[in-house]
């Protein structure tokens, strides 16, 4: 179900690196030997020798995590390759420590038929630096009127279904999708927003929007639709995943549904977990414009609590690249979205782990937990498993720049912020997918 | 001061300095030759993306009274209609070396953006529903003329606060000068969180009698289509300031243009309580003071401090 271009199977030794894999319970320095793209041995620091021809990565003082998995990115292919394509988007993913990403179908044309999906999977086999999976549209053309051929799309490799970017506004259509899920399988990923409440809103509704004179998107625009859809999923016994939670009311709606036995999971983005609408007061920066919008501090705290207690299963970036000229316009005119793949770990680590709010192990878990929601294997640091990990320097401090991204676009909401934690290397599907330019490799 | 982008950026001292200078310019307006050479050789560019009569013409009169050269650039009939972006338009016009750009747009924050794209000073003449700082300054000027210092005065701003940049700028200006501000209107037209600006919120005119000053906002007909109010009739019944509701000692203000019979009844528009005409008149001297502040006052580029002004490099 995941596609990437063939990479040479890695032969390498990461020496003395602190391995942290919350799911297998490893949290100590190790030598990690990769042979033929598989984790061949885990040993005490200094115990393993690099075989002939293998490169050695000096891991002392650095961490090795199971690679991150992002269930929500926009690779903009087909049709909007001026913003991003499969090559640039997966290079950005690799630079962020990701070993798999799942692309959304709101492209041009929309991924709503098997031929489009097949051609995309083929393109990924040619271009993708890390494995890419695809979710297909729930409704044809994302128009919300009629269902796609979900069964055929599943056979063609769709991991699940979503109309992301838009809600499935008509309850009757979503109900039919939930019924059809019994045949087709695949989770329904839902962008929750009542368009009659969001109106022409461009930011969170509250004191900041009142001050700026900008039309607001109320929190209840999201939470009311979550409540509706959770009720439908409960009634039909279907499985839904709520995308990019942003408000306290939404966390509460998901928690209530889960308590009531509904099969519902949820994700939150690094920006919603770390930033608030107050950031717009200093400068009306269009990079801070996304949907759902950055909300209030109380909402942000609720998201963090939800991530901690599992109401929110995973962190998803909603990586949404836009070209420079599209964002260099007045705030109300700018498209919604921020890039996120290259800053996700550092943003969450800096603001939440170093801020003393969440333990590192929990953050590492939530950065790959999205795999399970889409029935993908969870990366693990275990002998005999394919190598899917990233090596991270937690001490490295860096400023998120205006330029210099692997992504084709530069609309990153963290631009100008100083973050800690830098991904030095990423091994995905057994091959080296990323190596930081300044990163010294011994004996390569 | 290099730019005037919002009232929120100004402190009381800066506001009072501009108002005092405006006062000194009244003498120019009363001359037979209504001109002084203070800004001779300076270029002021009016860039208007929305229709405007009084704001644009009073900026033009103000610039001319100070002997600056003025170019009016309206979005209609220009390359904007051919799809030129705001950034490209501003950078193109900046090649003409303006000293000051006066900009009105329907977009919040556009004046701030423009300030980042040009070396000229920038005056915000209205950015969407955000701010209209020179309107607030001229309102405060006209009001001080009528009642003296604003300290402790109770000012009610009545009407469509949600869509009003005038309301936002005036709330900041009135509060900075010591007044107590109440906004009043239908709950659909008062933004959630408005009280965070430091004002009180009321939904009925029952306590309007407590106000020293009543500032009515323009009620636009297009608000009906979005169900903000069910009808102009119901709006007028609840929120129109008329002879019955306006007390003899209250002052009435309005930013214009007035919808007669909607937000204001005819009898109060022409009443002695109204200072609507004085507000318009204040527009020229206050905008002269703003232009002077930015181009010849404190913090202006050097070489501009005194008249006659040397040729601009």
Q: Are B201 and B181 in contact (CB under 8 A)?
A: no
In tens, the pLDDT along B130-184 reads 999 999 999 999 999 999 999 999 999 999 999 999 999 999 999 999 999 999 9
* Helix (H) / strand (E) containing A280: helix A279-282
Q: What are phi and psi of A40, to 5 degrees?
A: -95, -35
Place of tokens 């039309």: A215
By Cβ distance, the residue of A205, A214, A325 closest to B108 is A214
Strand-pair partners of A55? A12
Q: Pairing relation of β-strands A63-66 and A55-58?
A: unpaired
Question: Which CATH number among 2.40.30.30, 2.30.40.10, 1.20.1440.230, 3.40.50.700 corresponds to the domain A12-64+385-407+418-435?
Answer: 2.30.40.10
Residues in B closer than 8 angstroms to A205, CB to CB, are 191-193
Q: Are A144 and A194 in contact (CB under 8 A)?
A: no
Cite the DSSP H helix spans in chain B: 12-30, 54-65, 86-94, 110-117, 133-147, 165-176, 232-239, 266-269, 276-295
Contact A329 B87 (CB under 8 A): yes
Contact A207 B108 (CB under 8 A): no
Chain A: closest CA distance from residue B81 (Å): 16
Chain A: closest CA distance from residue B312 (Å): 31
Residue A196 half-sphere exposure, CB side, CA atoms within 13 Å?
A: 7
Q: What are phi and psi of A127, to 5 degrees?
A: -115, -25
pLDDT at B267 over 50: yes
Determine the average pLDDT of the residues in B218-239: 86
Contact A330 B165 (CB under 8 A): no
Contact A325 B105 (CB under 8 A): no
By mean pLDDT, which of B83-97, B201-215, B258-272 is the weakest?
B83-97
Q: Which residue of B has its CA nearest to A208?
A: B193
Cα–Cα distance, A351 to A307 (Å, whole number): 14
pTM across the whole model: 0.93
The catalytic site residues of A sit at 318
Q: Does B257 sit behind a cis peptide bond, omega within 30 degrees of 0 on the bond before it?
A: yes
Domain covering B133-276 in this structure, CATH number: 3.40.50.1370
Domain boundaries, chain B: 7-132+280-295, 133-276
Chain B: closest CA distance from residue A204 (Å): 11
In tens, the pLDDT along A183-227 reads 999 999 999 999 999 999 999 999 999 999 999 999 999 999 999
Place of tokens 């109309």: A163
Domain boundaries, chain A: 12-64+385-407+418-435, 66-373
Cα–Cα distance, A327 to A317 (Å, whole number): 19
Cα–Cα distance, B49 to B196 (Å, whole number): 30
Residues in A closer than 8 angstroms to B196, CB to CB, are 207, 210-211
Residues in A closer than 8 angstroms to B84, CB to CB, are none
Cα–Cα distance, B59 to B304 (Å, whole number): 19
- Interface mutation target, options A216, A330, A334, A335, chain B, most CBs of B under 10 Å: A330
Cα–Cα distance, A66 to A21 (Å, whole number): 6
Residues in A closer than 8 angstroms to B128, CB to CB, are 213-214, 330, 332
- A381: tokens are 């640091």
> For residue B269, what pLDDT is reported?
97
By Cβ distance, the residue of A205, A206, A330 closest to B107 is A330
By Cβ distance, the residue of B87, B109, B168 closest to A284 is B109
Chain A: closest CA distance from residue B191 (Å): 6
By Cβ distance, the residue of A210, A213, A332 closest to B192 is A210
Chain B: closest CA distance from residue A249 (Å): 17
Q: Which of B137, B173, B87 is nearest to B290 (CA)?
A: B137
> For residue B306, what pLDDT is reported?
42
Domain covering A66-373 in this structure, CATH number: 3.20.20.140
Q: Which residue of A has its CA nearest to B197?
A: A211
> For residue B311, what pLDDT is reported?
37
Q: What are phi and psi of A109, to 5 degrees?
A: -70, 160
Q: Which residue of A has its CA nearest to B165?
A: A213
In tens, the pLDDT along B29-43 reads 788 888 899 999 999
- Non-local (6+) Cβ contacts of B13 within 8 A are none
Q: What are phi and psi of A328, to 5 degrees?
A: -85, 60
Q: Which of A368, A312, A270, A376 is nearest to A21 (CA)?
A: A368
What Cα–Cα distance (Å) separates residue A172 from each residue in A176, A178, A179, A253? 6, 10, 11, 20
Cα–Cα distance, B166 to B127 (Å, whole number): 10
Chain B: closest CA distance from residue A291 (Å): 18
> Low-confidence residues of chain A, pLDDT below 50?
444
Q: Which fold has domain B7-132+280-295?
A: Rossmann fold (3.40.50)
> For residue A441, what pLDDT is reported?
56
Measured CA angle at A41 (ends A38, A47), to 5 deg = 145
Q: Are B239 and B186 in contact (CB under 8 A)?
A: yes
Q: Which of B261, B307, B268, B264 is nearest to B288 (CA)?
A: B307
Cα–Cα distance, B198 to B168 (Å, whole number): 11
Contact B192 A205 (CB under 8 A): yes
What Cα–Cα distance (Å) separates residue A352 from each residue in A245, A297, A361, B182? 17, 14, 12, 40
Q: What are phi and psi of A421, to 5 degrees?
A: 100, 115
Cα–Cα distance, B19 to B14 (Å, whole number): 9
For residue B249, the tally of other CB atoms under 10 A from its CB is 7
What crossing angle do the helices spanning B133-147 and B276-295 adopt, rounded to 10°? Answer: 120
Residues in A closer than 8 angstroms to B192, CB to CB, are 205-206, 209-210, 216, 218
Strand-pair partners of A28? A19
Residues in A closer than 8 angstroms to B90, CB to CB, are none
Q: Which chain A residues have any C-beta within 8 angstroms of a chain B C-beta?
A: 205-214, 216, 218, 283-284, 325, 328-333
> Helix (H, G, I), strand (E, B), or coil: what is residue B233?
helix
> For residue A114, what pLDDT is reported?
98
- Interface mutation target, options A208, A211, A286, chain B, most CBs of B under 10 Å: A211
> For residue B51, what pLDDT is reported?
86
């Amino acid at each position: 179900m995941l596609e990437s271009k063939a990479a040479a199977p890695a032969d390498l030794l990461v020496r003395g690196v602190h391995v942290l894999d919350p799911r297998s319970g490893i949290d100590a320095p190790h030598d990690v030997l990769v042979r033929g793209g598989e984790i061949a041995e885990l040993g005490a620091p200094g115990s393993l020798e690099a075989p002939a021809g293998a490169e050695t990565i000096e891991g002392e003082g650095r961490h090795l995590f199971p690679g991150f998995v992002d269930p929500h990115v926009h690779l903009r292919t087909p049709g909007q390759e001026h913003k991003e394509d499969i090559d640039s988007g997966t290079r950005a993913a690799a630079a962020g420590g990701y070993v798999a990403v799942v692309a959304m179908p709101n492209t041009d044309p929309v991924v709503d038929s098997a031929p489009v999906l097949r051609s995309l999977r083929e393109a990924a086999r040619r271009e993708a630096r890390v494995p890419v999976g695809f979710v297909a549209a729930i409704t044809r053309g994302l128009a919300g009127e009629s269902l796609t051929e979900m069964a055929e799309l599943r056979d063609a490799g769709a991991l699940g279904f979503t109309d992301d970017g838009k809600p499935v506004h008509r309850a009757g259509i979503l109900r039919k999708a939930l019924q059809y899920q019994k045949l087709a399988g695949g989770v329904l990923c839902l962008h929750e927003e009542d368009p009659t409440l969001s109106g022409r809103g461009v930011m969170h509704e509250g004191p900041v929007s009142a001050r700026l004179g900008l039309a607001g998107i109320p929190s209840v625009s999201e939470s009311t639709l979550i409540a509706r859809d959770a009720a439908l999923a409960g009634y039909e016994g279907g499985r839904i995943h709520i995308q990019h939670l942003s408000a306290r009311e939404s966390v509460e709606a998901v928690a209530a549904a889960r308590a009531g036995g509904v099969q519902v999971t949820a994700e939150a983005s690094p920006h919603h977990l770390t930033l608030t609408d107050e950031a717009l007061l200093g400068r009306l920066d269009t990079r801070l414009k996304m949907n759902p919008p950055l909300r209030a501090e109380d909402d942000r705290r609720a998201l963090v609590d939800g991530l901690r207690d599992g109401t929110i299963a995973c962190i998803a970036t909603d990586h949404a690249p836009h070209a420079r000229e599209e964002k260099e316009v007045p705030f109300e005119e700018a498209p919604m979205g921020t890039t996120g793949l290259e800053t996700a770990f550092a943003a969450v680590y800096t603001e939440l782990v170093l801020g003393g709010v969440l333990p590192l192990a929990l953050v590492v878990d939530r950065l790959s937990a999205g795999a399970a929601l889409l029935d993908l294997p969870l990366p693990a640091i275990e002998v005999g498993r394919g190598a899917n990990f990233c090596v991270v320097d937690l001490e490295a401090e860096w400023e998120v720049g205006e330029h210099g991204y692997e992504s084709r676009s530069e609309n990153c909401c963290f631009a100008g912020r100083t973050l800690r934690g830098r991904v030095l290397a990423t091994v995905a599907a057994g091959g080296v997918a990323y190596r930081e330019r300044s990163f010294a490799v011994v004996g390569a | 001061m290099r730019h005037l982008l919002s009232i929120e950026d100004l402190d009381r001292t800066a506001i009072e300095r501009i108002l005092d200078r405006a006062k000194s310019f009244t003498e120019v307006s009363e001359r037979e030759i209504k001109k002084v050479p203070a800004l001779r050789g300076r270029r002021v560019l009016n860039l208007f993306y929305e229709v405007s009569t009084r704001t644009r013409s009073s900026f033009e009169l103000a610039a001319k009274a100070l002997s600056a050269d003025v170019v009016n650039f309206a979005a209609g009939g220009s390359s904007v209609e051919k799809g030129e972006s705001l950034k490209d338009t501003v950078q193109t016009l900046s090649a003409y070396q303006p000293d000051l750009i006066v900009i009105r747009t329907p977009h919040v924050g556009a004046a701030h953006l423009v300030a980042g794209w040009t070396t000229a000073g920038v005056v915000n003449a209205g950015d969407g529903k955000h701010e209209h700082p020179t309107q607030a300054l001229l309102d405060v000027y006209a009001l001080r003329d009528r009642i003296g210092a604003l300290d402790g005065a109770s000012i009610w701003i009545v009407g469509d606060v949600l869509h009003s940049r005038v309301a936002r700028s005036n709330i900041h200006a009135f509060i900075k000068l010591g007044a107590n501000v109440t906004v009043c209107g239908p709950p659909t037209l008062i933004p959630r969180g408005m009280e965070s600006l430091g004002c009180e919120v009321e939904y009925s005119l029952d306590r309007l009698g407590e106000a020293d000053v009543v500032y009515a906002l323009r009620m636009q007909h297009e608000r009906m289509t979005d169900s903000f109010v069910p009808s102009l009739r119901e709006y007028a019944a609840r929120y129109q300031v008329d002879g019955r509701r306006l007390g003899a000692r209250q002052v009435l203000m309005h930013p214009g243009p007035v919808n007669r019979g909607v937000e204001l009844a005819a009898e109060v528009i022409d009443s002695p309580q109204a200072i609507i005409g004085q507000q318009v008149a204040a527009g020229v001297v206050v905008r002269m003071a703003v232009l002077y502040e930015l181009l010849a006052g404190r913090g202006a580029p050097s070489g501009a401090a005194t008249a006659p002004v040397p040729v601009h490099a």
